[in-house]
Amino acid sequence: MTTVAEADTPGTTGTIATEHDDFFAELTASLDTALSADGTLRLIDIDQRGEGNSWETYLVTAEWTRGADRRTATYAVKRQPVSGITGDYDVSREVALLTAADRAGMRVPAVLAHRGEHDGARGFFVMEKVPGFIPMPGTVSRLIPDADLRAELGRQVAREMARLHSVDPASMGLDMLGPVPDGADTGRIENDKWAGAYREVADIPIPVLDLACAWLDHRADAVSGRVSLVHNDFRIGNLVIEDGSISGVLDWETAHFSDPVADIAWFAQRTSRGRSPLLCKLIELEPFLDEYERAGGWRPSPETLTWWSVQSLVKTAVGCLQAVDVYKRGDRDELRYSNMAHSVYYSVGWLTKMLRDREWGL
Is residue 78 within 8 A of residue 56, CB to CB? The reply is yes
Closest CA to 127 of 166, 99, 155, 85: 99
Strand partners, 3: 47
Rounded CA-CA distance 216/201 in Å is 19
d(CA 55, CA 46): 16
Residue 2: exposure state from Cβ atoms within 10 A (0-12, 13-18, ≥19): middle
Domains, in order of start, for the chain: 5-128 (3.30.200.20), 140-356 (3.90.1200.10)
Residue 181: DSSP 8-state:
P
Torsion angle in degrees (nearest 10) through CA of 338, 341, 344, 349: -140
Q: Can you tell me the distance from the alpha carbon of 54 to that of 172, in angstroms, rounded to the nearest whole number?
A: 24
DSSP category for residue 222:
G
Per-residue pLDDT of the chain (362 residues; tens, 9 = 90+): 444 444 333 344 444 456 678 999 999 999 999 999 999 999 999 999 876 667 899 999 999 998 889 999 999 999 998 776 766 789 999 999 999 999 999 999 999 999 998 888 899 999 999 999 999 999 999 999 999 999 999 999 999 999 999 999 999 999 999 999 999 999 999 999 999 999 999 999 999 999 999 999 999 999 999 999 999 999 999 999 999 999 999 999 999 999 999 999 999 999 999 899 999 999 999 999 999 999 999 999 999 999 999 999 999 999 999 989 988 888 777 788 888 888 899 999 999 999 999 999 88
Specify the pTM: 0.92
How far does the chain reach from its first CA to its final CA, in angstroms?
58
Contacts of 340 (CB under 8 A, 6+ apart): 53, 320, 323, 324
How far is 313 from 154, CA to CA, in rounded Å?
21
Sheet strands (E) in the chain:
42-48, 56-66, 69-79, 111-115, 124-128, 228-230, 239-242, 245-249, 256-258
